[in-house]
Amino acid sequence: MKKWTLLLVMIMMSTMVLSACSGSSSNNGKGNEKKEEVQVTPSEKEEVVELKFTVWGDLATGSPEQTLADEFNKAHKNIQVKFEPIPGDGYGTKLTTSLAAGQAPDVFLIGEGDFFTYVDKGVVEPIDSYLEGDSSFDTAIFQQELLNMGRIHDKLYYLPKDFNPLSLWYNKKMFDDAGMEYPKDDWTWNDLNEAAKKLTEKDKNGKYTKFGFNATKWAYPVFTYLWSNGTDIANEDGTKADGFMNSDKTITAMEKYVAMSMGPDKVSPTPQDAETLGGDGSMFMTDKLAMMITGRWTKYDLDRSNINYGTSMIPTGEDGERAGITAAAGWAINANGKHKAEAYELVKWLSGKEAQILRSEKGLVLPATIEELEEVKKTEVADQPIIRMMDYSKKPVNMISSNGPIFIDEFNKAMEKILLNKTSVRDALNEAAKIVDSKITK
């Protein structure tokens, strides 16, 4: 009996030694079936990859992005993401600083106006190779014009989050009080100006109390005005300003635009007026501003107020030309991130159909995917003009050229000088055009 006991002990010890020695080998013999079963558990102990992603804005904990992060974590055992939004207006500065310090999130959101800028900084990872090796995700689900916004220098860097075309927003109460018809889609800029004159009011001391329109210094609405009047601040490929930014046609159009806030028939607040009165959004909601051109993001604040508002298409120029801009946002992968393959999985999740549906449910943004936008069109009534403005969208220079920021920056400086009465429109644009051409890279 002792011999059998000793023999059994020796067999058990041998088995244990063999098992320990073969733990890292891949023997397919039947005798190792139990060993392979044990080997399943280490996959559960695999290192969990932790990712961070960010967007701009003061977002509540119940935001769509937080919901998407929670759902992503449930669906991915070995990838866990943390949503860290950056509140306020300092998004660009904070993101740029964190990228320079090597501490940026793995995935971040970029607005269409900065697509070129971040690519040229070398901080955004191209995703073509990831898409080519992924048969489970098809970019054909997106509206191709939005997808192609993220294609820079023949490579795709961004996947669309959502989009918002600019349109004309109007305060119905102010129109009703004045006994006037609401803006129509066949309005020209002259029609808008004439209506704005009737809606602009002064008190007995000559102080303006209400304005008919906001001729903002923000470049995007200004561009829609220039384009509808057949002119632009740059040539087609964004390599030349002289003869475009300071052409006679541009100067004439800008003189008319600026006259809306500075001329004897002023219908718009100056930037200083608007700031004093709380900004165009606040003025609009307190019945001090009748019309403004902006994006659909303003719905969030408008719908929380008691304001009765409507939307219309941006007016046409004298020749019947209409022009708009589609504001969009794209998800980017940090080119210097440690887990880019996992970050790609997150970007797909944040851009996919389910994400598009979730964000568009509250009507604050429009889905970037084809089928989901068609569903919105079926139910959307009041804001149909906004959706139709997408058909008239053009790309400003910062969306077609790496030189774009130079054009925009110098044009903005010229606008500041003009609106502060420091110089004439012609002199300001002549100076700006020369500076741009001295700085741009062909």
Query: Does residue 40 belong to any structural domain of this protein?
Result: no
Please tell me whether residues 128 and 217 are part of one structural domain: no
Residues 192 and 266 both lie in one domain: yes
Q: Is the residue at 15 inside a domain? A: no
Rounded CA-CA distance 325/399 in Å is 11
pLDDT category at 361 given cuts 50, 70, 90 is confident
The answer to whether residue 203 scores a pLDDT higher than 50 is yes
Reported as a single tens digit per residue, the pLDDT across 261-319 is: 998 889 999 998 898 888 899 999 999 999 999 998 888 889 889 899 999 999 999 88
For the chain, the three-class secondary structure string (H helix, E strand, C coil) is CHHHHHHHHHHHHHHHHHHHHCCCCCCCCHHHHHHHHHCCHHHHCCCCEEEEEECECCCCCCCHHHHHHHHHHHHCCCEEEEECCECCCCHHHHHHHHHHCCCCCCEEEEEHHHHHHHHHCCCECCCHHHHHCCCCCCHHHECHHHHHHHEECCEECCEEEEEEECEEEEEHHHHHHCCCCCCCCCCEHHHHHHHHHHHCEECCCCCEEEECCCCCCCHHHHHHHHHHCCCCCCCCCCCCCCCCCCCHHHHHHHHHHHHHHHCCCCCCCCHHHHHHCCCHHHHHHCCCECEEEECHHHHHHHHHCCCCEEEECCCECCCCCCCECEEEEEEEEECCCCCHHHHHHHHHHHHCHHHHHHHHCCCCCECCEHHHHHHHHHHCCCCHHHHHHHHHECCCHHHCCCCHHHHHHHHHHHHHHHHCCCCCHHHHHHHHHHHHHHHCCC
What pLDDT, on a 0 to 100 scale, did the predictor assign at position 87? 86
pLDDT beyond 60 at 34: no
8 versus 75: the higher-pLDDT residue is: 75
Per-residue pLDDT tens for 362-404? Answer: 777 899 999 999 998 888 777 889 999 999 999 999 999 999 9
Q: Is 5 part of a structural domain of the chain? A: no
Residue with token string 């950056």: 86
For 102-129, what is the mean pLDDT?
A: 96
Residues 322 and 333 occupy one common structural domain: no
Task: Please indicate, yes or no, whether residues 95 and 123 belong to a single structural domain of this protein.
Answer: yes
Number of domains in the chain: 2
Q: What pLDDT was estimated at residue 11?
A: 37
Domain harbouring 295, CATH code: 3.40.190.10
* Pair (173, 288) in one structural domain: yes
Percent of the chain with pLDDT over 90: 77
Residue 122 has a pLDDT of: 96
Q: Are residues 229 and 261 in the same domain?
A: yes
pLDDT of 156 over the 90 cut: yes
Nearest to 23 by CA among 8, 10, 42: 42
**Low-confidence winner among 88-97, 156-165, 416-425 (lowest mean pLDDT):** 88-97
Q: Say yes or no: 369 and 420 in one domain.
A: no
Domain enclosing residue 304, as ranges: 167-326+395-439
Among 392, 409, 430, the domain boundary falls at: 392
Asked if 242 and 312 sit in the same domain, the reply is yes
b/e burial code for range 34-50 (CB count within 10 A of at least 16 → b): eeeeeeeeeeeeeeebe
β pairing state of 107-111 and 49-54: parallel
- Kindly state the average pLDDT of the residues 96-104: 96
Reported as a pLDDT band with limits 50, 70 and 90, residue 61 is: low
Give the pTM. Answer: 0.85
Question: Do 228 and 321 belong to one domain?
Answer: yes
As a whole number, mean pLDDT of residues 126-155 equals: 96
> Mean pLDDT score of the chain, rounded to an integer?
88
Same domain, 220 and 300: yes
Task: Give residue 88's pLDDT.
Answer: 76
pLDDT in tens, 119-139: 999 999 999 999 999 999 999
151, 180: one domain: no
Whether residues 354 and 319 fall in one domain: no
